[in-house]
Structure 1
Amino acid sequence: MTASTAPDADEFERHRPRLFGLAYRMLGSADEAEDAVQDAYLRFTGADRAGIEHPAAWLAKVVTNLCLTRLTSARARRESYVGTWLPEPVLTSDGTLGPLESAEQRDAVSTALLVLLERLTPTERAVYVLREAFAYGHREIAGVLGLGEANCRQLYRRAVRRLGEPESRFEAGPERRERLISSFLTAARDGDLAGLEKLLAEDVTWWSDGGGRVSAARRPVEGRDKVLRFLAGGMRGFAADWDFSVAEVNGAPALVARVGDVLVGVVSFAFRDGLVGDLHTVVNPDKLVFVRRQLARP
């Protein structure tokens, strides 16, 4: 690195965690988020600094627009994706996605919400993320996206309507979540279907993302009875072959599964009415690369 670019690099590194958090929320992919942030770095170091009055705002605008471009092409790839597409899991106990000190901040990076964000158009998603996760005002969002302030307000209202009411998605407290996950794992290992039945909401859904790389249900398994039958068919291997531990993933307790020293899956949970409402299982090895690197750090 040359002497002229060193100050720029130092300045950029101060903003990198926030930019990665923005890009990840926009894309649902840690790998693509890293690429977007790196592209922003190259633009930053090559830009005329005299024209950048507020680096944080300038970088947020660049990253947002890079993500909008990537989302347009990502939609086409996800339409041909084998099976269910789920976001890449990210460990959050190390601050990778920024401080998650409140329930609202944790909910903003939850797997459940990232799945729902797929309902939005790229621009609606940008408006929603900037507003909800980064507390941007509509005037600031308009400046980032090059749109009118009234248009941004309308896009935000539309996004909120399309996502639905949040109360039923995130009502279980952290201690209750951990108890439910521990009870779920114990019942699954013991083959206790009656115990599992007590933990699952009637409209529970099991989502699996194998991406065609490994065996996984290619369609959501919906309803308590069907999920129980699905689990009954897989619990023997589930108990015997996979070694589970609990880790904070996307702001909430989740199960991390290994076979030997190899990470093979991450199971995230969403809750409704004090019960398990959705299970999101990522077993596509391509989507476990980032979290595998996180787990390998001292």
Structure 2
Amino acid sequence: MDQGDWLAERFEEHRPRLRAVAYRMLGSPGEADDAVQEAWFRLSRSQTSPVENLGGWLTTVVARVCLDMLRSRESRREEPLDEFVPEPVLTGRYEGDPEGQAVLADSVGPALLVVLDTLAPAERLAFVLHDMFAVPFDEIAPMVGRSTAAARQLASRARRRVQGSAPAPEVDLHRQRRVVEAFLAASRGGDFDALLTMLDPDVMLRADDAAVRVGADSEVRGARSVARTFSGRSKYAQPVLLDGSAGAVWAPNGQPRIAFGFTIEDGRVVEIELLADPVVLARLPPAAVAG
């Protein structure tokens, strides 16, 4: 058997799992097949001899391809549920667990896909890979350009929404942007009372490892504490699209230093992420950074 045939055979062994990952990520059988095919193209062009865990390598490739596809969806809403919905593919941590398989089989279908479609791309990836396919957070973190702790939080936030214990985030980008712009204006103007009106009483401010290294607190809880953190600041912050949602970037002299991810529910900010990881900042469009 030559190298090409051997590689193709190994890939086919992993295809069912790869397609399951892609389908959960994209909600579309056709797009899932496209993502898996792209993984094959990349595998066939790569040097695979140093790869010790081919299944893990392929899962990472498919996840990154799916993340790019989700982020490239612009104002047009996809309608994948009009297509044929296949039977659930039971993999990951539920293998060999009949009760867990039954739960997953009941949950993976049109209803779950509708909820998954409300998640930001990074949340969807973290939840799908960890909760459905048992991928560790330290492997998920570099895929989304976050710290391991931030990746864990993405999955946790998505999990609460899937389980119905948290309302869906504000999905209207125009409304999101108005809230973010008003928040930045109040921050720059030092309007403490205005900041309080825009913050949920239990708002959480979290910083990734890179932001903590440059002086940010790793975690701040409560509206008054978060308002004090931002009051009189954000002079160089500008609105920007981040992971498909309205966010902001602090870019003194046009150089992005910190990105702000906002979770907005019912017109109020319920969570803010401070992201200084260079991988995240590199994804920001130059025009948005320039303001």
TM-score for both structures, normalised by structure 2: 0.50
Give 1:253 deviation, angstroms: 1.6
Q: Which runs of 5+ in 2 are unaligned?
A: 1-18, 27-35, 47-53, 79-113, 137-157
Q: Secondary structure at the match of 2:284?
A: helix
Q: Choose the corresponding residue for 1:66, options 22, 36, 58.
A: 58
In the alignment, the residues of structure 2 paired with residue 118 and residue 105 of structure 1 have an alpha-carbon distance, to the nearest angstrom, of 9
Give 1:269 deviation, angstroms: 0.9
In the alignment, the residues of structure 2 paired with residue 221 and residue 118 of structure 1 have an alpha-carbon distance, to the nearest angstrom, of 28
In the alignment, the residues of structure 2 paired with residue 184 and residue 213 of structure 1 have an alpha-carbon distance, to the nearest angstrom, of 22
Q: Secondary structure at the match of 1:189?
A: helix
Q: Which amino acid aligns with 1:67?
A: T
Give 1:257 deviation, angstroms: 2.3
In the alignment, the residues of structure 2 paired with residue 118 and residue 217 of structure 1 have an alpha-carbon distance, to the nearest angstrom, of 30
Alignment of 1:121-160 (within 5 A): 121=131, 123-124=133-134
1:50 alignment counterpart: none
CA change 1:187–1:292 in 2 (3 A) is same
Pair 1:108-2:108 in alignment:
no
Larger RCO (alpha carbons 8 Å, 6+ apart): 1
Q: Which amino acid aligns with 1:101?
A: R
Alignment of 1:143-292 (within 5 A): 163-165=162-164, 168-171=167-170, 173-211=172-210, 214-232=213-231, 235-236=232-233, 238-239=234-235, 242-244=236-238, 246-291=239-284
In the alignment, the residues of structure 2 paired with residue 213 and residue 286 of structure 1 have an alpha-carbon distance, to the nearest angstrom, of 16
For the 8 Å contact 1:208–1:280, the answer to whether it is kept is yes
Q: Which amino acid aligns with 2:43?
A: R
In the alignment, the residues of structure 2 paired with residue 258 and residue 288 of structure 1 have an alpha-carbon distance, to the nearest angstrom, of 10
For the 8 Å contact 2:161–2:167, the answer to whether it is kept is no
2:72 alignment counterpart: 97
In the alignment, the residues of structure 2 paired with residue 22 and residue 70 of structure 1 have an alpha-carbon distance, to the nearest angstrom, of 7
Give 1:124 deviation, angstroms: 4.8
For the 8 Å contact 1:91–1:247, the answer to whether it is kept is no
Q: Which runs of 5+ in 1 are unaligned?
A: 1-18, 27-35, 47-61, 72-89, 127-158
CA change 1:114–1:266 in 2 (3 A) is farther
Q: Secondary structure at the match of 2:271?
A: strand
Q: Secondary structure at the match of 2:257?
A: strand
Q: Which amino acid aligns with 2:169?
A: F
1:59 alignment counterpart: none
CA-to-aligned-CA distance 1:87-140 (integer Å, 9 cap, x gap): xxx999xx85345626968633355x35973993471579xxxxxxxxxxxxxx
In the alignment, the residues of structure 2 paired with residue 70 and residue 109 of structure 1 have an alpha-carbon distance, to the nearest angstrom, of 18
1:41 alignment counterpart: 41
CA change 1:63–1:255 in 2 (3 A) is farther
In the alignment, the residues of structure 2 paired with residue 291 and residue 172 of structure 1 have an alpha-carbon distance, to the nearest angstrom, of 20
Q: Which amino acid aligns with 2:192?
A: L
In the alignment, the residues of structure 1 paired with residue 135 and residue 160 of structure 2 have an alpha-carbon distance, to the nearest angstrom, of 12
2:127 alignment counterpart: 117
In the alignment, the residues of structure 1 paired with residue 161 and residue 169 of structure 2 have an alpha-carbon distance, to the nearest angstrom, of 17
Q: Secondary structure at the match of 2:264?
A: strand
Identity of aligned residues (%): 17
For the 8 Å contact 1:255–1:266, the answer to whether it is kept is yes
Give 1:189 deviation, angstroms: 0.5
Q: Secondary structure at the match of 2:169?
A: coil
1:57 alignment counterpart: none
